[in-house]
Amino acid sequence: MKTKALTAAQIDTLAQGLSDTPIEPSPSAKKAGDNCTRLLAPRIGAERAALVFTSMMTAETCDQAEARLTLVLDYGNPDPAGKAISVPADEPKAAPASVVGKRQAMLDQAQTGALPPAPDFSKPTHARFRVKLAQIVALAEAGDIAALQAFEINPVSSSPKALARYRDLYVIAIFARAEVAA
């Protein structure tokens, strides 16, 4: 016998049994399924919720899907060995670790006063910009902030952009050091 996929309305009806508050009608079966799985996950775990929903979707009728859901909810959450799986009840989730990119990390270091390393212009691509890099490094080593800020850079390609980034980070680091010293 061929199975007929549940409609969004049927999935919403099944999901309503998992929620105390009224559920808004879903525009698609996919969204309804995501909502149902989200409501089921706190009760039986995220992995099992996805498996139970897949089992519901392969049911031949809506009544059979409802029966599968009821069995899982009424008779616990056994693992294949027959032991009950404990699901933590409403544990607060840890805040996700913020991902810091390379540029943001360099900016954060400069704001603490750490001087940035000069960019590596040893490749042939950067050959025509090595003179400007040497000038910027000399100004940076001399600590001439006004000259660094006034140094003209036209950031039209990767090499001048790297020069401008180095110059700007160096100025930020010098100002941060001055604030700490004051």
**Could you tell me the residue ranges of all domains in the chain?**
8-74, 102-181
Query: Quick one: average pLDDT of 28-33?
Result: 82
If we measure between CA atoms, which residue out of 164, 132, 130 comes closest to residue 149? 164
**How far is the CA of 15 from the CAs of 26, 47, 49, 98, 103, in angstroms?**
11, 17, 12, 33, 45
pTM of the model: 0.46
Does 97 score more than 80 pLDDT? no
User: Hey, what long-range contacts does 49-57 have (CB within 8 A, 24 or more apart)?
Assistant: 56/6, 56/11, 56/14, 57/5, 57/6, 57/33
Of all residues in the chain, the percent with pLDDT exceeding 90 is 20
The amino acid sitting at 172 is: I
Does 98 score more than 80 pLDDT? no
For 35, the token pair is 């909502």
* Interior/surface letters 12-32, b for 16+ CB within 10 angstroms, e for the rest: bbbbeebeeeebeebeebeeb
Query: Quick one: average pLDDT of 57-81?
Result: 72
Between 104 and 29, name the one with better pLDDT: 104
Q: From CA 171, how far away is CA 113, in angstroms rounded? A: 10
